[in-house]
Amino acid sequence: MTDEQATATDGLRGVFSGRLLTAAEDMAPFLTDWRGQWRGAARAVAQPDTAADVAAVVRWCAANGAPVVPQGGNTGLSGGATPDAGGRAVVVSLARMNRVRALDTLNNTITVEAGCVLKAVQAAAAEAGRYFPLSLASEGSCTIGGALSTNAGGVAVLRYGNARELCLGLEVVTPAGEVWDGLRGLRKDNTGYDLRDLFIGAEGTLGVVTAAVMKLFPAPAARLVAFVAVPSPDAALRLLDLAQNRLGPGLTAFELVSELCLELVLKRFEDARDPFAARSPWYVLVEATDLISEARAREALEALLAEAFEAELIADGTVAASLAQARALWALRENISEAQAAEGKNIKHDVAVPISRIGAFIEEAQAALARAFPGVRPVVFGHLGDGNLHFNVSPPAGQPHEAFAKLRAEVNTVVHDLVAAFGGSISAEHGLGVLRRDEAARYKAPVEIALMRAIKQAIDPHGLMNPGKVLAP
Ligand SMILES: Cc1cc2nc3c(=O)[nH]c(=O)nc-3n(C[C@H](O)[C@H](O)[C@H](O)COP(=O)(O)OP(=O)(O)OC[C@H]3O[C@@H](n4cnc5c(N)ncnc54)[C@H](O)[C@@H]3O)c2cc1C
């Protein structure tokens, strides 16, 4: 930081009541992402207490030409919350804005500040006898503001929708340092352009989300989990169709797991158990919930599996008999990323294609990768019910992972070209940040990029908000 910047940063202390960090060791955790993949620099980290504080910080940044980098739990996977290396930015951490402002059981809404950790929102809802369904493996650290800004998905999108669909209203500090109070808990509001939807998924490039009204739901009385062996992704798709017809809204999760994924988890985690005697090329985790009773949920799920078995959609299946067993089955799905990471570097893709085309996509992508990079091992799993696959690629067995990681761009091109050909998306739930920014520009139509730039220019004409994220400067 130059002397001039240091003097100017001193002025920032006086404009708001929260905490200001300027010492290198205090700022360090805010200047890199949780995996240490991106590193940046900043002149300060501001931790405001109120929306008015955030507005004051943003006004100060505008007056002093300091870019604003909003940050929640810093668990994002696309580098969106890390400042660039220039050292001019102020990171605005929402961590201290973590209050539940209101909970209305008749309106079925909860109004929370942006820094509320997802798990705390779930707990507040449960305490009031309601259910808040947004659920991700990072829920113990990620915040509502971050989840909304990346339009996070997770494991219950099939039934309840992603973060966008769960949000009714927002409070946002604009790049001009004004507070927009859009905290309306309305299910219907057709009064012009939907500003809320602009800020959701904007990854902090249009403003700082300071609070949100989120939907609540009745708390399920029972949650049952089955793990089944299926011969192919197409059989899994037909099982999905059957499950949707038999369970209706009781179907809350439908997750695909490949044989290699299960193998990696069993190798890495000592307490993981293979549910079946014989291996299968594919597996599906099915979660069913019921508002009335466990008996009803069990009856419906077992009837579904019997019918699927009869139709030869599944070769084997098990329904968890206890909460501990249900957790163990979920762990087989949720520990895949960690098990794969333990093997060494791999090349990750978070893609979406129309659900009906998932089987064909997996087949073609595997074949295209085998042609271009003989021996590579696709590690395929994901939210099949949402058309969202984590299509990760590990090097051929025995080959060094570091060398393989250098092929990232080429591997990405093979997978993402095919995603585009299937009418899909190269980022289903992790956002663009800096990781996928330039690739997105390649796959989106020029008119789409031009409209995005026009929106950015209209709302943030000086390019103050999280520059370099989502759109190239
Ligand atoms: C183990 C693990 C599992 C995950 N699983 C999933 C998953 O299943 N589904 C899924 O969708 N994602 C998943 N993620 C990634 C996911 O994006 C984040 O966990 C979460 O949504 C980000 O929240 P955060 O508070 O950590 O945001 P951060 O990482 O702090 O920020 C993410 C982006 O949002 C912006 N931002 C943050 N807060 C605000 C705010 N208040 N106003 C404006 N902009 C803001 C930042 O500038 C950045 O661009 C996972 C991550 C991890 C580490």
CA of 469 to the centre of ligand 1 (A): 14
* Atom number of ligand 1 nearest to Cα 199: 43
Whose structure tokens read 């193998």? 263
- The mean pLDDT of 85-102, rounded to a whole number, is 97
The whole-number pLDDT of residue 5 equals 56
CA of 297 to the centre of ligand 1 (A): 33
Collapse the DSSP code of 146 into the 3-class scheme (helix H, G, I; strand E, B; otherwise coil) and give the result.
Answer: helix
The whole-number pLDDT of residue 76 equals 96
Round to whole Å and give the CA distance between 75 and 142.
6
Q: Whose C-alpha lies nearest to ligand 1, atom 7? A: 154
- The mean pLDDT of 165-172, rounded to a whole number, is 98
Q: Measured between alpha carbons, how far is residue 287 from residues 65, 240, 299, 385 in Å?
A: 50, 11, 13, 11
Helix, strand counts (H, E) of the chain? 18, 18
Q: Dig out the tokens for 187 from the structure.
A: 């299910």
| Percentage of residues in the chain having pLDDT higher than 90 | 92
State whether the beta carbon of 428 lies less than 6 angstroms from ligand 1: no
Q: Whose C-alpha lies nearest to ligand 1, atom 18? A: 76
Q: Dig out the tokens for 232 from the structure.
A: 């192919």
Q: How would residue 138 be classed by pLDDT, with cut points 50, 70 and 90?
A: very high
Contact partners, residue 83, CB within 8 Å, separation at least 6: 31, 40, 41, 42, 67, 69, 89, 91
- The mean pLDDT of 3-22, rounded to a whole number, is 81
The whole-number pLDDT of residue 174 equals 98
Pairing of strands 179-182, 167-173: antiparallel
The whole-number pLDDT of residue 160 equals 97
State whether the beta carbon of 369 lies less than 6 angstroms from ligand 1: no
Q: How would residue 221 be classed by pLDDT, with cut points 50, 70 and 90?
A: very high
Contact partners, residue 57, CB within 8 Å, separation at least 6: 12, 15, 16, 46, 48, 68, 90, 92
- Residue 35 confidence (pLDDT) above 90: no
- The mean pLDDT of 41-70, rounded to a whole number, is 97
Q: How would residue 237 be classed by pLDDT, with cut points 50, 70 and 90?
A: very high
Round to whole Å and give the CA distance between 408 and 416.
12
- The mean pLDDT of 70-97, rounded to a whole number, is 97
- CB 388, CB 352: distance < 8 Å: yes
- Residue 447 confidence (pLDDT) above 70: yes
State whether the beta carbon of 247 lies less than 6 angstroms from ligand 1: no
The pTM (predicted TM-score) of the whole model is 0.95
Collapse the DSSP code of 318 into the 3-class scheme (helix H, G, I; strand E, B; otherwise coil) and give the result.
Answer: strand
State whether the beta carbon of 45 lies less than 6 angstroms from ligand 1: no
State whether the beta carbon of 80 lies less than 6 angstroms from ligand 1: yes
Q: Whose C-alpha lies nearest to ligand 1, atom 2? A: 138
- Structure confidence by residue, pLDDT tens digits, 352-406: 999 999 999 999 999 999 999 999 999 999 999 999 999 999 999 888 888 898 9
State whether the beta carbon of 152 lies less than 6 angstroms from ligand 1: yes
Round to whole Å and give the CA distance between 353 and 291.
31
Contact partners, residue 219, CB within 8 Å, separation at least 6: 125, 126, 129, 130, 131
* Atom number of ligand 1 nearest to Cα 155: 8
Could you tell me if residue 330 is left (phi over 0), alpha (psi between -120 and 50 degrees) or otherwise beta?
A: alpha
The whole-number pLDDT of residue 224 equals 96
Round to whole Å and give the CA distance between 250 and 299.
12
Arithmetic mean of pLDDT over the chain: 95
Higher-pLDDT residue of 68, 342: 68
Contact partners, residue 264, CB within 8 Å, separation at least 6: 336, 339, 340, 342, 343, 379
State whether the beta carbon of 209 lies less than 6 angstroms from ligand 1: yes
Collapse the DSSP code of 216 into the 3-class scheme (helix H, G, I; strand E, B; otherwise coil) and give the result.
Answer: coil
Q: Dig out the tokens for 464 from the structure.
A: 């103050």
- The mean pLDDT of 137-142, rounded to a whole number, is 94
Q: Dig out the tokens for 347 from the structure.
A: 């090349």
Q: How would residue 1 be classed by pLDDT, with cut points 50, 70 and 90?
A: low
- Residue 4 confidence (pLDDT) above 60: no
- Structure confidence by residue, pLDDT tens digits, 110-124: 999 999 999 999 999
- The mean pLDDT of 158-187, rounded to a whole number, is 97
CA dihedral angle for residue 373, residue 379, residue 381, residue 382, rounded to 10 degrees: -70
Higher-pLDDT residue of 80, 403: 80
- The mean pLDDT of 278-301, rounded to a whole number, is 96
Which segments of 101-141 does DSSP mark as H helices, in order?
118-127
Could you tell me if residue 102 is left (phi over 0), alpha (psi between -120 and 50 degrees) or otherwise beta?
A: beta
- Over the Cα atoms of the chain, what is R_g? 23
* Atom number of ligand 1 nearest to Cα 383: 8
Q: How would residue 6 be classed by pLDDT, with cut points 50, 70 and 90?
A: low
- CB 221, CB 290: distance < 8 Å: yes
The whole-number pLDDT of residue 3 equals 60
CA of 199 to the centre of ligand 1 (A): 14
